[in-house]
Structure 1
């Protein structure tokens, strides 16, 4: 009887060990190890000044500059028209092509109609500017 219990106990340990090794193999297969950490450039941050007379807030002028991080931040600050070729959402379509199709020529009188004053409009404007109380509705 003691031999049966020892044998069953040994089989249970072997089965548990197999289950654990399978679980570890699955975890190792699907794990993604991240080793490069940094600040999220797409999140707005406030620039805060350091504490005065603090020896820990001093910036070392000889420290290497992280150009990859600076490029990522500059890329995140660009407008959507500079980031993408075409609009990504329906809301972006409303101003995506904001450049005029034709160059406006102010000398071409067919398309450019300047505001012109006639005698009656000049008189009315002079009257309104000289007597603001005479404007309609201010009786």
Structure 2
């Protein structure tokens, strides 16, 4: 019966040493030693926040007015940011001022809750 390996014999120690030397030479030929390291410009860098009690957090830096204005404008309501609605869904409820002033003495448009014997 033939062996499962296809009938190949195991190489002797001299052949194994020659194959190993050839493999090491090929690996050394294609290896390159890197001594200069840089940041990959194609990969995003995640910055780590500083510790709140460290000394460089306590340095007073001048505030950038342009950035602060942009930051405060982004937090505004859409009706205060824009003169017209920017999307179709903003059109609903864009005009929030009532068409006529509220008059609490006019019983046609003002229906307060009333307490009667029936509702008690």
TM-score (norm 1): 0.45
1:69, CA displacement in angstroms? Answer: 0.9
1:78-125 deviation per Cα after TM superposition (whole angstroms, max 9, x unaligned): 111111111111110111111111111111122212222332322xxx
Aligned to 1:70: 68
Aligned to 2:52: 51
Aligned to 2:20: none
Question: Going by fraction, where is helix more abundant, 1 or 2?
Answer: 1
Local SS of the residue matching 1:121: coil
Distance 1:80 1:120 in 2: 46
Aligned to 2:86: 88
Corresponding residue pairs, total = 72
Q: Where does structure 1 differ by over 4 angstroms across 4 or more consecutive aligned residues?
A: none
Aligned to 1:130: none
1:56, CA displacement in angstroms? Answer: 1.9
Larger radius of gyration: 2
Say which structure, 1 or 2, has more relative contact order (CA 8 Å, 6+ apart). 1
- Change over 3 Å in CA distance of 1:64–1:117 after alignment to 2: closer
Distance 1:58 1:121 in 2: 65
TM-score (norm 2): 0.52
- Change over 3 Å in CA distance of 1:104–1:49 after alignment to 2: farther
Unmatched tracts of structure 1, length 5 or more: 1-47, 123-139
Unmatched tracts of structure 2, length 5 or more: 1-48
